[in-house]
Every structure is written in C-alpha cells, then in structure tokens.
Structure 1
Amino acid sequence: MISWSGNDKHKKYIPPGSEPQWILKNDFFSNIRKQLEIETRQGRLVIVAAIFTCSFFVLTLRLLDLMIINESSISSQKVESVNKFLKLSRSDIQDRNGWAIATTIPTIHLYANPSLITDSEVVVNSLKNIFPNLDEMRLYKRLNSDKKFVYLKRHVTPQEQIKINNLGIPGLDYEITEKRVYPYGNLFSHVIGTTDTDNKGTAGIEAYFDKKLTSGVTPLSLSLDLGVQDTVHEILSNAFKTYNTIGAVSIVLDVNTSEIISLVSLPDFDPSISINPDDKRKFNRATFGRYEMGSTFKLFTIAMAMERNLISLETMLDATQPLNISGREIDDFYPKRKWLSVSEVLMFSSNIGAVQVANMVGSDNQRMFLEKIGLLSALELEIPEIGRPDYPQRWSLSNAATISYGHGIAVTPLHVVSAVSSLVNGGYYIRPTFLKREYIPKDEFKRVMSSDSSIKMRYLMHLVVKSGSGKGANLPEYSVGGKTGSADKPEKGGYNKDKLITSFVGVFPIHNPRYVIFVLLDEPKPQDKKNNHRTSGWNAVPTAKEMISRIAPILGIYPDNNQSDNQELSEFIRAGLNRGIQLGATDAIE
C-alpha cells in the first residue's frame, strides 16, 4: 500500500512496511466506514424493494378484482377503499358496466445523486446490461452533472429492481410514485386520451376531467360499452386494411339518451406509450375531423321540407335532366332521367331531387333547420378535441343547392350521428355525451321536429335499406334503416374525383329506434382493380352491416320476428308497406 503523510501541499512518501500505526488504523476504519456505507445503501434498497413488492402484490389483487372477478355490480365503495389503501392520486375511468379502462398503479423510478457516484462509466455499463435501450451518452452526462437528483429510468419493474440492487452501487436510489395504465391498450385511445409523466391529463377524457380525476377516488363512469367497442374496433380495423384507407371512423349512439356507446377513430395509438403530439395517429377523426359528408345530408333536406309540409311521400320531382345552378351543372351519380317521388329521391340518392326540395325550403329556412339540429356549431362534449363545422358565411342559392346533398359544408362524424338521432327518436335533439346518464337534464334536449315527421323519416330510411342504395345493410333478423353517402374530397379549390369519403348512417331497429350507427372510410380503394367500386355501397355499407349483426345481441336487441315486427311498426309505416310500394333500385348502389 502506498501511503502519504502531511497535508496536501507537503506530502511525504512512506515506504511500504514502515507506516506508523495510526495511519494503518485510519485506513482500517476508513475501509470499515466504506463497507458500512455500502451495506446501509443496500439495506435501503432492500427495504424499498420490499415495499414495492408488497404494493405489486396488492396491485395484482386489485387488477384481478377489476378485470377478472369484476361483475357489472362493482361498487364505488370497494374501489374507493382500494384507492385509499394504495393512496393513489388519480381515479379510475370505467365503461358503463364498471370495467376499468384506465387505472393507476404504484411504480418506482430509478434516480441517482451524481455527487455520490464515484465511477460513472461503471454505472453506465452496469445499467446498460439491465436496460439495453438506454442512451449511454445521455446517461453519462446526467451522472456527471452538478445536480443532486437526476432520473435514470422511469417505471422500473420488480425484476429490474432486483438486478439493480445486486449491483450494490452507492448513489442509486428509488422514487416511489404512480403510473397511469390502460388495460385495453389502444381500444379507447381517442376517447380516454393521455396523461404526461406527472400523471396530468393532456388529451381526451383525461384532460377534460383532470381536476375531477385528481380530486377524488370515485371512478368516472363513461357511456362506452367495452364489448361493443371491442367488436366495432375489430370490424373497422379489418375494413381499414381491406379497403386500404387512410382513415376510418365508427360511432354507435343511443338515440333515446344520446349516450355514445362506441367511438373508434383509425389509425389509433396506445395511450400508455409516449408519442409525438403531432403524430397523425393522435388525430381524432370522429370528433375533430371535418368532412363533406355527401348524400347523408339528403336526410336533413327531406326532413326540413317534411316538417314544413312542403312535400309528402308522393310528391313528384323532375329528374329527367341535370340542373344548372349559378352556372354549375348538378347531376345524379346514377341518373334515372325520369320523374321521382320523394321516396325515390332518397332511395336513388338523387342530387337533382334534393336541390329541388332545398329550393322549396329556401336558403334561410335551410340554414335555420341545420342550426336547430346542431350541424352549424361545435358540439358540447367532454373532450377537448372538438371540430367546428365549416360552412359558407354567405348562404347563397348555389350554396344552398350543394349543401342539400352534402357538399360545401364540412362537419364531424359525431355531428351527423347526433343530428340523425333527432330525426328518428321522435324529433328531439339531445346533447351527445361520453358520460353514463341516469337522466337527461332539461337544458340538454329540445324538440326540433314533430313526431309525425320523425315517423316518416324512419319509413324513408327503411326503404333505402330495404330496396335502395343501402340495401347492402339489409338484415333478415333485424329491421334497419339508413342512408349512404359518397363525396369527392375537396382539393385545391375544387374536388378530386379519384379520392372519396364514403359513409353509411344506419338506425336499428328502425321500427322502434334504439341506436344510430355510423361508418366512414377515408379514401377507400376498390378490391377488384378491374372495376372502380369505391362508393359506400361497396365498403361502408357492408362494414356497418357486419357491425349491426354482431353488436345487436350485445346490446340486448333480439332478432325480429316477422309477425311481432308488423305489430310493432307504427301505423304510418304499416300503411306504407301495406300499399305494396315497389321502389326497388337494384342497379343503384351508391
């Protein structure tokens, strides 16, 4: 051993074997102190590991309770007691049946006190063996900083913690904290949203209810249904791939309460994994994306004229030739070149007929009706990602004409779903919500249409699916009504006919409406390259059909019996069907 005597400025070399006894004693006690320091720190790490392991076992029991043993009758008191025991600072988010779709678990972060690190290279190499993806240069800079506290790795697992403890490196320690987890990954991503590293909400429900979620332990119950969401997500994901789209949307809404039962926007993301805020996967197409919807708007055009008694089902409209409005020619996608009844205008999806109906209503009344059913203002919803409709400030004759068939106005998919709900639920506009409703506040619903007009619209939508452009959604076991929509995408002051937005809005069961379903595909490609079958009848309609057939049993809707179906149909609908109206559109698949 090389020994030195004296102060730093006057050190003297002492040959080996001739050290004074007091120097040997100092070295001996110095070694003892170092050994005790290492053992003390290892002891602290063991204690922290024990605490975390206990928390981990409690967490495991909690997740079992929430995800396996959980039944629809989970009580708030149980969840509250668990949260209090774990002292978690953020409440759970549940679906309508009590399943936890966002929860908080205890976790630990690895940190270092650089002033206690004697060899940063050894620490870097040692941690690199445990965490292969760590940035070595960044870690080295942190360990050589002047700070007393630097994070090295967030959310360390129990297995990783054991390996760190075995290193026995002084200067490393743990911070016991929390982590927000999402048991179902990307299934609810655009609704639930995200939190940051400090567990603060940054998007979706997490952001909107951030204060509520951090101020109590009572779970937040949403209107979403886990089973329906999972099924719809699976079917829409398949359509997204099958039709090679750049985006897709699906929504299921309860027409009587306006509770959103399911909402999917693709592409989506896993909220537990941090991604760039500008990543396109974070864009919520269902509530923030605005689209020119095309022919689904014809429902609103017919409804506003029905409500003013300007037309009846038998009113005939001249569709023998294109219209010229302000120098612009308006024609049908599948022209019939004949007079069409109002029923046929919807069934054949006639632009010519829709424009004539809009002319009867007048531009001022058209705008007033669309405003009344919520299509001209941003929705009041419990997430920040809300799109405001885009429409002309000056409502000219030509604007009124194109808006009648869904061009020249852009709204979100949820706008369409909410508005269609008011057409079929008896004539009431009810504010849509992501929260589970026990009742509807008086200031959140209003009558926008008579019940008689609502019945007529249900009848017309049923004909569209039974024999018209939406016949691809017809199901023998369920009565379905709906409307197709195919719209060229606006581009550089005009429209790109090679890029389409296709959609289908459906209602089931149509004789006693319970749910509205909506499917939108952004730029679907034809499956067969030999033809150009890209319109909604070839993609959005069959997608919606599969969704209805699979989610109806989940929602408690039993297959129709022909006899009971006829008994439940309203007098108006029965009268129309009994007249034997044959308005088939076998060649019109829009």
Structure 2
Amino acid sequence: MRRADCRQRFALAADQRLRILLLAFLFIGAVLLARIGHIFIMGLINGGGAAPAAMFDRADIVDRNGVPLARSIPVHSIRSVRSKLMHDPRMLARELARIFPDTTEATFYSRLTGRPSSIIRRRATPDQLNAVNELAEIGFEYPEEPERLYPQGPIAAHVLGFVAPGRGGVMGIERRFDEQLAANAARGEPFALSLDTRVQAALELELGDAVTQLEAKGGAGLVLDVDTGEVLAMASMPTFDPNRVNFSDPAAQWNSVSFTTFELGSTFKPITVAAAMDAGVITDMARRYDATRPLTVGGHRISDSHSADRWLNVPEALVHSSNVVTAQIADDLGKDRLQATFRALDFDKRPTIELPERGLPQWPRSWGRTTTMTAGFGHSIMVTPLHLASAYAALVNGGIWRPATILKVEEGHVVQGRRVFTESTSARMRQLLRMIVASGTGSRADAPGYRVGGKTGSAERVIDGTYVGNSVVATFAGAFPMDRPRYVVLVMIDRPPGNAYSLGQRTAGFTAAPVVRKVVQRIGPMVGIYPDAHRDVDISELEPLLWKPRAER
C-alpha cells in the first residue's frame, strides 16, 4: 500500500511538472509567433517580403537584353572608433596602406585621427578583411553596408551616373530615377534601359581608340534607332569608372552627347536642303548655283574650304560640301521657313531624353539674312550631338521626328512623333546621303555591304562665345543600311590636332568618318544587319549629275 501510494504521488508530481513545462513552451511559442506576425505585417506595410531597404534600396539597372549595368550588393566596410584604438595610429596607417596600396598612408592617418568614428575603407574584400583582422585592433569595426556595383566598369558611365553615400544618385539614370529605382527595388523588378551593352562596348572601344590615336581632347558617339528613338549606345570621352569616381580630368564630368552644345558645321546642310525641297525652293536636282567665288553678305565673307571654282547642282553641293551653295539655298528658303524646320526638330529646346544632363541650344540672338545663310551650313547655332542624331533619324525614316529615349520601348509599341519632312523628301535624302559616302567627303565612312549614308561636318570650336582658331569639332552623322535605315550612327571628335594617324588632317572626313565605318562593321551583326554586296540604294538617276573630269568619263 505504501509503495502504491508513493507511485501515485510521483505520477501526480510528474504530471504537474509536465503541465508547467507545456504551459511555458506554449507561452514562449505564442511570443515568438506574435513577433513573427509583427515582422510579417510590417513587411507587408513596407512593400512585401523584399530584402531590408537599408541593404537593397535601389533596383538593378539592366540593358535591353537583361545584362546588369548596376546593382546593389552587401559589402563590409572598416570603421575606426578613435577612443577604442589600442595601437599607434601611425603604425596602423602604415599597415593599412600596405593592405590597401591604392590609398596613401597619410590618408589613412587622417581618417584614424580625425572624427571620433569614421569609415576608413569601403568595399573591402575577404582577404583584405582577414589581413586587417590580423592587426588585432579592437578599435576597428566591420559594418555591413549596401554598395552600388557597376559590373561593366566604365561602360556607359555618363548614362548610368553613380551613387554617393548619403546623397543618392549623382548623375545620369541614378539621379534622374532615384525614386523609381527605390520603387522597383521594393517590387523586385529591374529597371530596363534601351542600351545594348554589346553595341555600347563597341562604340566606346572605337571612339576611345580614335581619340587616343588622333590625340584629340575628347569625343562623343551615339547609336540611335530611327523608328523608336531608342538610344542603343551613348559614349562621351573622356570618361570615368562609376565604381571608383575620380574626375582627375574635369572634362570627364560632362556628357558631350546630351549636354554640351557645338556648332556642328556641314552636317546641317542636308537638313537645309530637305527643308528647301519641302518648301518648293528646290524642285530640280539639276539646278546650278554659282560657286565660282565667295559670297559677301553684311560684311561677312562666306567661302568654301576647297572651292570647286564652278557652278554646282544640289547633289554636287552636298558631295563637295559647298558652303557657298548651301548659303544661297538657305537665303532662298528664308529665315521663317528655316527657323520653322529647326524648331520642328527641337533645335530651340533641351533634348527630351530622360537624363538630367541636357544642354540648352544656343539660338542666335538676332536673326538676319547673314544668320540665315550661315545657319544653313551649321554655323551661328549650337546644338548637342543628340539633337543632330534625332534630326538625321527624321531625315531618313520617312520624315517623322521622334524624341530620343534611354528607356526600353516594348516590342510592337508604336512611338508617336511628328512629321517634319515629306516621305518623298526623305526618300530623296536617303539617295543623297548615300551618294555623299559613295562619292564625296564621307567616303571613309563607307563600310562595304552596309550601305552607309551620311554627312561630314567640320567647324571651329566656340569657347566663351569666341571662335578658337585651329580648334576643330569634326562630326560625321549618318545612318545604315540606307535602303531601309535602321540606325543613326554619329561620331564627333573634339579638337583633333591633325597628326600622322589622320594624314595630317583635322576634318571629319579623316577623323570621324573612319570611326563610323569601324563601328558599323562591329555592331551590324549584333543588331541583325549583315553585309550584302548585292544590295544598295538606287542612285542611278542622280549619278549623271556629278561632274567628272574628262579622263574619268
């Protein structure tokens, strides 16, 4: 009986303990579930189950094919807490400079002895962190921070811009779409651009090589879809690496494609001729204009750099790039109609592209007869290369001007525009632009089988309102393939001195045109255009209008 009574008391005690333990576990579980529920609800309120905003607060930027151009990643930094430092700051600075040879000992010493707490290094690799740990310094902390990484390095730097700690986006897309990038990050969606990384890399490679070989001060390049206005590539030289921003050359800060304005010279001549054709000023390609001597208007002398010393028809004036003939055509067209064409091409407004760096064209303050004549061949008015590229797209695509865009246009979407030139004028301009490359100043832009058409332009650089002698801006603006234009390709070389690489010449035919040829040959297969020697624009009705010496007939 006693043993049975003991077993019963033991069983009751054990049961009581189990109940207490069960209640304790239930209480702890309820607390944990409440905490998890709170976190879940707050996550829904703050944008779903995305990663913490402090770590990934900006969406990836990708090109039109999904290739990453910018992304946020977690990295470790090294922070110094001055009050906790055990070792001599000079010794620490010396050791840190050994681990991070790209930063000087003096810089590390300044950071160690400056503010009470400061980041002395951002984005340290695991090996570097291990090396710093071996210093056994308890005054160092290793916080994890979000870092903006640009996997392609300096590719498309002026388009992308960069992010500065505590400031957000500073240039380009990073600045313009600061809030949109955060919104896309919350939804887990990348931000797609119209750029094609392959085309961008090819353009930058050829443009950078030309600027170096020509010993030029800089350059600009653009590849633009003539039907949608999408920018497939945009390059400005000198450039920078957004992963490690250091504007040792101040010129690297400016996007020469969309921000800097230039007098783009003879590249305006096809625009003037097209406007004259639509206005009925030019009705016959065979009509001849006196180019035997310079023009003197309002005390200004207009001459040709290489005078043909004879009367020229319209195709010859473009092929030989005659200022004298184009000035007469602009004079016949008149101020109002020339201005109307320029305004229809947005030459009086900032470019419409979605970048913060957009230059305001320099429109003439007073516009008299002389200005009309000089503006007709690209002087007296300053625009960005992007303005010119959009104008050339309208020249060759059937006459429709569309705003340039850096954002990807969904396939099948029709981009609205406005008519600037008639379809018949656009068809004629395709012939004339092809003729300029086949037989004129743009011959070095001819990429066999790609049917390139375009126009050269060489003008003196305007700095602080004054023409700087022997300082040339050389531009070639063109399109391919001219039997069915798909892309405008524009290259500008800023202030080439003329050296052995360009045969001593500074003009666009020897500096910018060859770059266009190389770019077209590189990017053609990338965008689905292959050389075809059996196709071309039919210019047979215009070829007889080109005068040739008797020996060539």
For 1:335-354, what aligned pairs fall within 5 Å after superposition? 335-354=307-326
Q: Secondary structure at the match of 2:366?
A: coil
Q: Which residue of 2 aligns with 1:189?
A: 157
Quote the offset at 1:530 in angstroms.
12
- How big is the shift at 1:368? 1.2
Shift of 1:275: 2.0
Aligned pair in 2 of structure 1 residues 134, 285: CA closer, same or farther (>3 Å)?
closer
Specify the code of the residue in structure 1 equivalent to 2:505.
H
TM-score, normalization: structure 2?
Answer: 0.83
**Aligned residue in 2 for 1:376:** 348
Q: Could you say what secondary structure the match of 1:230 adopts?
A: helix
Residue 195 of structure 2 is matched in structure 1 by: 224
537-546 vs 123-132, which deviates more?
123-132
TM-fit CA distance, 1:133: 5.8
Aligned match of 2:515: 543
**Letter of the structure 2 residue corresponding to residue 265 of structure 1:** S
2:139 to 171, 174, 183: 171
Amino acid at match of 2:217: I
* Structure 1 Cα separation of the partners of residues 307 and 328 of structure 2: 15
Aligned to 1:583: 546
Equivalent residues of 2:203, 2:221 under 8 A apart: yes
Q: Which moves more between the two structures, 237-246 or 156-165?
A: 156-165
Structure 1 SS opposite 2:242: coil
Distance 1:177 1:376, change over 3 A: same
1:464 to 404, 429, 436: 436
Amino acid at match of 1:274: V
Distance 1:531 1:88, change over 3 A: closer
Rounded Cα–Cα distance in structure 2 between residues aligned with 1:509 and 1:110: 54
1:398-477 counterparts in 2 under 5 A?
398-438=370-410, 445-477=417-449
**2:445 & 2:243 partners in 1: Cα distance?**
36
Contact in 1 for aligned 2:193/2:407 (Cα 8 Å)? yes
1:102 paired residue number? 70
Q: Residue 114 of structure 1: CA displacement?
A: 2.9
Give the whole-Å Cα distance in 2 for the aligned partners of 1:496 and 1:389: 19
Indicate if the aligned counterparts of 2:80 and 2:119 stay in contact, CA closer than 8 A: yes
Q: Which residue of 2 aligns with 1:241?
A: 212
| CA deviation profile, 1:429-462 (whole Å, cap 9, x unmatched) | 1010111111698885111121111111111111
- Asked if 1 retains the 8 angstrom alpha-carbon contact of 2:214 and 2:501, the reply is no
The residue aligned with 2:176 is: 208
CA contact (8 A) 2:502 2:510 kept: no
Q: Which residue of 1 aligns with 2:3?
A: none
Instruction: State the 1:277 CA deviation.
Output: 9.0
Which structure 2 residue ranges, 5 or more long, are not aligned? Answer: 1-47
Query: 1: distance between equivalents of 2:281 and 2:360?
Result: 31
Partner Cα separation in structure 2 for residue 258 and residue 335 of structure 1: 37
CA distance in 1, matches of 2:101, 2:501: 46
**Whole-angstrom CA distance in 2 between matches of 1:191 and 1:367:** 31
State the AA in 2 paired with 1:288: F
Total equivalences in the alignment: 497
Is the deviation greater in 134-143 or in 318-327? 134-143
Q: Which residue of 1 aligns with 2:451?
A: 479
Q: Provide, for residues 152-176 of structure 1, a one-character-per-residue CA deviation record: whole Å limited to 9, x for no partner.
A: 3222221122223333332322211
Distance 1:191 1:83, change over 3 A: farther
- CA–CA distance in 2 between the matches of 1:146 and 1:316? 77
Secondary structure of residue in 2 paired with 1:187 = coil
Question: Deviations for 1:507-544, whole angstroms, at most 9, x for unmatched residues?
Answer: 10011110111111111132339974221111111111
Q: Could you tell me which amino acid in structure 2 is paired with residue 285 of structure 1?
A: S
Displacement after TM superposition at 1:115 (Å): 3.1
Residues 1:311 and 2:282 aligned together: yes
Change (3 A) 1:82 1:547: farther
Are the equivalent residues in 2 in contact too, given 1:422–1:430 (CA < 8 A)? yes
Separation in 2, partners of 1:554, 1:529? 28
| Contact kept? 2:93, 2:109, Cα under 8 Å | yes
Output the amino acid matched with 1:371.
R
The 2-side partners of 1:232 and 1:83 are apart by 36
How big is each residue's C-alpha offset from its partner over 1:32-83, in whole Å with a ceiling of 9 and x where there is no partner? xxxxxxxxxxxxxxxxxxxxxxxxxxxxxxxxxxxxxxxxxxxxxxxx9996
Quote how far apart the aligned CAs of 1:360 are. 1.3
State the distance in 1 between where 2:84 and 2:465 align: 65
**TM-aligned CA deviation for residue 329 of structure 1:** 1.3
**Of 120-129 and 497-506, the range deviating more from structure 2:** 120-129
Cα contact 1:428–1:447 (8 A) shared by 2: yes
| Residue 287 (structure 1) aligns with | 258
Find 1:267's aligned residue among 238, 247, 251: 238
Secondary structure of the 1:106 match is strand
Identity %: 34
Task: State the Cα distance separating 1:118 from its structure 2 match.
Answer: 4.1
Q: Provide the residue aligned with 1:130 in structure 2.
A: 99
User: 1:327 aligns to what?
Assistant: 299
In structure 1, what is the Cα distance between the partners aligned to 2:489 and 2:97? 51
CA distance in 1, matches of 2:110, 2:158: 37
Query: How far off its partner does 1:130 sit?
Result: 3.4
SS of structure 2 residue aligned to 1:368: helix
| Counterpart-to-counterpart distance in 2, 1:100 and 1:223 | 13
Question: 8 Å contact 2:315–2:545 — kept in the other structure?
Answer: no
The alpha-carbon distance between structure 1 residues 464 and 136, as it changes in their structure 2 partners (threshold 3 A), is closer
How does 1:107-126 map onto structure 2 within 5 Å? 107-121=75-89, 123-124=92-93
State the distance in 2 between where 1:143 and 1:545 align: 54
SS of 2:134's equivalent? helix
Tell me which moved more, 272-281 or 503-512: 272-281
Give the CA RMSD over aligned residues: 2.7
Give the counterpart letter for 1:100 in structure 2.
P
5+ residue gaps, structure 1: 1-79
8 A Cα contact 1:130 1:163, kept in partner: yes
Measure the CA separation in 2 of the matches of 1:272 and 1:355. 48
Is the 1:375–1:419 Cα contact (8 Å) retained in structure 2?
Answer: no
The reply on whether 1:160 has 2:132 as its aligned counterpart is: no
| SS in structure 2 at match of 1:185 | coil
Q: Deviation string for 1:327-355 (max 9, x for gaps)?
A: 11111111122221111111111111111
Output the amino acid matched with 1:553. P
Structure 2 counterpart of 1:293, which letter? L
Q: Provide the rounded CA distance (Å) in 1 between the counterparts of 2:115 and 2:486.
A: 64
Pick the aligned partner of 1:512 from 477, 481, 484.
Answer: 484
* Alpha-carbon distance between aligned partners in 1 of 2:372 and 2:182, rounded to the nearest angstrom: 48
SS in 1 for 2:211: helix
Q: Which amino acid aligns with 1:395?
A: W
Could you list the per-position Cα deviations for residues 293-335 of structure 1 after superposition, in whole angstroms to 9, with x for gaps in the alignment?
1100111110111111210322222222211110111111111
Any idea what SS the aligned residue of 1:167 has? coil
Post-superposition shift, 1:210? 1.0
Find the residue that maps to 2:484 and give its secondary structure.
coil
2:506 maps to 534
The amino acid across from 2:180 in the alignment is K
**Secondary structure of 1:436's aligned partner:** coil
Distance in structure 2 (CA, Å) of the matches to 1:374 and 1:219: 31
Deviates more, 1:316-325 or 1:531-540: 531-540
Amino acid at match of 1:507: A
**CA-to-aligned-CA distance 1:83-106 (integer Å, 9 cap, x gap):** 689952211111111100111211
